[in-house]
Amino acid sequence: MSNELSGVKHVIAMSSGKGGVGKSTAAVNVALALQSLGQRVGIADVDIFGPSVPQMLGLAFGEPPMMVGGQIVPIRQHGLKVMSMGLVTDDETPAIFRGPMVSKFISQFILGVAWGELDFLILDLPPGTGDTQLSLAQIVLLRGAIVVTTPQKVSLNIALRGLRMFEKVRVPVLGILENMSGWLCPHCGEQTNLFLHGGGRWLADHVGVPFLGGVPVDPLVAEGGDAGLPVVLEHPESGVSKAYFEIAGSLLAQLERGGDYAEPIVDFNFEYNGDDPGPGWHLERVAEGADPQVPIGLRRGSASSFEMLWADGVAQSFSFRKLRTACPCAGCVDEHTGKPILDPKSVRLDIKPLAIFSVGQYALGVRWNDGHDTGIFTYRSLREMGRAAGGATEGS
């Protein structure tokens, strides 16, 4: 299966570093706010171990959707298309899976669903930076991620780790959403800061990403979530609903501006021997101010190298031999000391790739003619390696 969803314009991950910050509530209400702004929206609850979206939307646990033509037909609720592990199991049965099974279910709940035409597919992730987040970056082409936090320092520190994780796997962070951002008095409208204030904006400024907005504390949010009637639907005039509408509007405006986003080459397995033309050399995707670690081209170079084109228009050449001797896998580098184990003299003189393949949006893998295929070269490391080697030119 391709990791691009035909008919889905934007796949957005809603993430948090820790639990209890209101991420699922934010995912549901932002999805409904986007829908109220005229967008076609779906939501996939990929928290395999603790699905909560069905209850928040008033869906019954353990009533699986239909299968048609080998694909799952998502449930429709409040106008949204919905898929969740909670629709497959009841609300008391625990999901007990190891990592590979988690990846399999995530793939099924995203790529195996007949989403149809959507402007947004919101993915409600579990908290943390574990198997789900890493699998997701490889399974589906994400337009970006929203990081949910509360104003307290402990939450901000963990949110920062989650944000750095998305950077490492080349997923753009679209912004910070601060939850529990003060309390609005229902009588006078004055805001009282129950916790610290401004932490989400500080984090956004600190890492250079947009601050999408703050959502105040309001009992209506919890009441609506428990009843399956989200606050954005039941009380659209409330202060907390207005905050969600503003966040949805900010997200829409950011994506419509586009600007420095360049579509990367993804989901390829470039058979280097033979006539395979590879994933292409897309000069038309060069964008001013684009992320210089986003690849938009890959092709054969000389007899001993291949070339990559980056979104800022720079082309770099990579020597087969230098790349093979720089393999970062545990068999070639001591994972405790970081010192090389591989003796460069042991690498055969005619080393070359049999295939070069994508690993999510963030890395290349290479299958070499000496049988080695476990090294993953992140785009960040490749760009640095190419810069150190010199010879970078404007793409042509």
Interval 316-329 mean pLDDT: 95
Has residue 191 got a pLDDT over 90?
Answer: no
**What confidence score (pLDDT) does residue 2 get?**
44
In percent, the amount of the chain with pLDDT more than 70 equals 87
Confidence of residue 4 (pLDDT cuts 50, 70, 90): low
How is residue 185 written in tokens?
Answer: 């008095």
**What confidence score (pLDDT) does residue 52 get?**
87
Confidence of residue 129 (pLDDT cuts 50, 70, 90): low
Q: Is 58 left (phi over 0), alpha (psi -120 to 50) or beta?
A: left
**What confidence score (pLDDT) does residue 315 get?**
96
How is residue 64 written in tokens?
Answer: 């699986």
Domain ranges of the chain: 8-257, 269-394
Within 13 Å and on the Cβ side, how many CA atoms surround 84?
A: 36
Label residues 82-120 b or e (16+ Cβ within 10 Å = b). bbbbbbbbeeeeebeeeeeebbebbbbbbbbbbbeebbb
* DSSP letter for each residue of 220-262: HHHHHHHHT--HHHH-TTSHHHHHHHHHHHHHHHHHHH--S--
**What confidence score (pLDDT) does residue 92 get?**
56
Q: Which of the two residues, 267 and 90, has the higher pLDDT score?
A: 267
**What confidence score (pLDDT) does residue 142 get?**
86
CA distance 383 to 296: 13
**What confidence score (pLDDT) does residue 296 get?**
95
CATH H-level superfamily of 8-257: P-loop containing nucleotide triphosphate hydrolases (3.40.50.300)
**What confidence score (pLDDT) does residue 135 get?**
72
For residue range 209-266, list pLDDT tens digits in order.
889 999 998 888 889 988 999 999 999 999 899 999 999 999 998 887 654 567 889 8
Confidence of residue 91 (pLDDT cuts 50, 70, 90): low
Confidence of residue 396 (pLDDT cuts 50, 70, 90): low
Top-ranked range on mean pLDDT: pick from 100-104, 291-295, 350-354: 350-354
Has residue 372 got a pLDDT over 90?
Answer: yes
CA distance 132 to 51: 13
Of the candidates 328, 345, 305, 334, the one whose C-alpha atom is nearest the C-alpha of residue 380 is 328
How is residue 98 written in tokens?
Answer: 């190891």
What would be the CATH architecture of the domain defined by 269-394? 2-Layer Sandwich (3.30)
| Contact (Cβ atoms closer than 8 angstroms) between residue 72 and residue 83 | yes
For residue 351, what is the DSSP state? -
| Contact (Cβ atoms closer than 8 angstroms) between residue 354 and residue 271 | yes
Interval 172-193 mean pLDDT: 76
CA distance 197 to 204: 14
For residue 264, what is the DSSP state? P
| Contact (Cβ atoms closer than 8 angstroms) between residue 29 and residue 56 | no
Q: Which of the two residues, 315 and 287, has the higher pLDDT score?
A: 315
Q: Which of 160-174, 188-202, 280-294 has the lowest mean pLDDT?
A: 188-202
Top-ranked range on mean pLDDT: pick from 103-117, 120-134, 179-193, 321-335: 321-335
Run of H or E including 356: strand 353-359
How is residue 279 written in tokens?
Answer: 């994933």
**What confidence score (pLDDT) does residue 208 get?**
76
Has residue 117 got a pLDDT over 70?
Answer: yes
Q: Which of the two residues, 361 and 68, has the higher pLDDT score?
A: 68
| Contact (Cβ atoms closer than 8 angstroms) between residue 176 and residue 170 | no
**What confidence score (pLDDT) does residue 12 get?**
95
Confidence of residue 342 (pLDDT cuts 50, 70, 90): very high
C-alpha distances (whole Å) from 161 to each of 103, 149, 294 are: 21, 12, 21
Q: Which of 19-33, 187-201, 368-382 has the lowest mean pLDDT?
A: 187-201
Confidence of residue 363 (pLDDT cuts 50, 70, 90): confident
In percent, the amount of the chain with pLDDT more than 90 equals 47
For residue range 38-74, list pLDDT tens digits in order.
999 999 998 877 788 999 999 987 677 888 988 999 9
How many other C-beta atoms are found inside a 10 Å radius of the C-beta of residue 243? 24
**What confidence score (pLDDT) does residue 290 get?**
80
Q: Phi, psi at residue 264, to the nearest 5°?
A: -80, 160
Run of H or E including 388: helix 379-389
Burial of 396 (0-12, 13-18, 19+ CB in 10 A): exposed
CA distance 278 to 287: 22
Has residue 313 got a pLDDT over 90?
Answer: yes
Mean pLDDT of the chain: 85
**What confidence score (pLDDT) does residue 1 get?**
38
pTM above 0.75, yes or no: no
